Amino acid sequence: MDGLAANGAFRRAVTRGERIDPARAAPAVVSVLDNPQLSWYGRGVIDAAVRRLVELGEQAVRELPPRLPELAAELARDPEFKAIRTADSRHRRVADWITNHTDGQRVASGG
């Protein structure tokens, strides 16, 4: 479960469908996903890894406040962010940027 949660592609995935391919990269998981009698167990492993990611995301959110001034200054210097003109695009860039600064952990959006 922790190994699966450490997989970058698994961490970036949003839906169950997006998580299947990265899960298949783990030999222990693919063996149960491909077995019709055990596929329920594979789904349980994926669900457990997702729960772990939620815990890690919550931890990342708790650790952000002391870093906000530093992170905001760094983001303000980011040329890609500066070039963006729409609020929606900036919101997406900030979400991706924060993910890159929280060891790949997605954090809940405030908006």
State the pLDDT at residue 73: 94
Say if CB 7 and CB 25 are below 8 A apart. Answer: yes
Q: Could you tell me the pLDDT band of residue 108, with boundaries at 50, 70 and 90?
A: low
Segment among 10-14, 21-25, 56-60, 103-107 with least mean pLDDT? 103-107
List pLDDT tens digits, range 41-81. Answer: 888 888 999 899 889 888 888 888 898 899 899 999 999 99
Helix axis angle for 68-77 and 87-100, nearest 10°, is 120
Q: Domain locations in the chain?
A: 2-100
91 exposed, middle or buried (CB, 10 Å; 0-12, 13-18, 19+)? middle
Q: Between 111 and 90, name the one with better pLDDT.
A: 90
Q: What's the rounded mean pLDDT across residues 15-25?
A: 87
